[in-house]
Amino acid sequence: MKIVVLISGSGSNLQAIMDACQSGYIAGQVVGVLSNKADAYGLVRAQQAGITTAVINHKQFATRQDFDLAMQKIIDVWQPDVVVLAGFMRILTPAFVQHFEGKLINIHPSLLPLYKGLHTHQRVLATGDKLHGCSVHFVNAELDGGAVIAQAVLTVAANEAEQSLIQRVHKLEHIIYPLVLNWLSYGRLSYQQGLPVLDGQTLSTPMKLLFD
């Protein structure tokens, strides 16, 4: 399975995916890493692993549509089976999403459909939720929308600090993202009529992995 990863920052999820490919846990390889920021440390991670990288500065384009089309052209050259959003901090246009429909997945630090958008950990603590976590989902044109494939769930500790919660959820991201890519790479997961199908069963609700 050929994987392209889109990043904007440190690339810790990218590293988890590269490590899982190296070990054979994911039956595939990262063939390209694209960032909208030239100083994203994830580019260094990719280059050190011998993976082709590209940078497209979104500020150099007049419209989001022009930026997304430029990205699309580069990604298409890599001929990916799946395009992974790993901390890519840009809202994608409907045309881009449609072009990669069924191949585009994202991870979001909340139990979707709760807390779409930013500052999820802060919002969870402010609301007093007992459960929190992260979700891997197929991407559609709605922000943090699309069918959720799997969720990693943890219990929020009493009086937990935001930084603690951020770190705990981040660790779960490094487990659940490679897991979903494992399912894809070994043919267990597919995308049919807008929904994830795992081992022949349509997932009307996400697979949930519970952690302390």
Q: Cite the active site residues.
A: 108
C-alpha closest to that of 172 among 4, 2, 12: 12
- Residues 51, 29: Cα–Cα separation, whole Å: 9
CB contact burial 99-127 (16+ within 10 A = b; e otherwise): bbeebbbbbbbbbbebbeeeebbeebbee
Q: How far is CA 119 from the centre of its chain?
A: 17
6 phi and psi angles, rounded to 5 deg: -105, 130
- Residues 195, 192: Cα–Cα separation, whole Å: 5
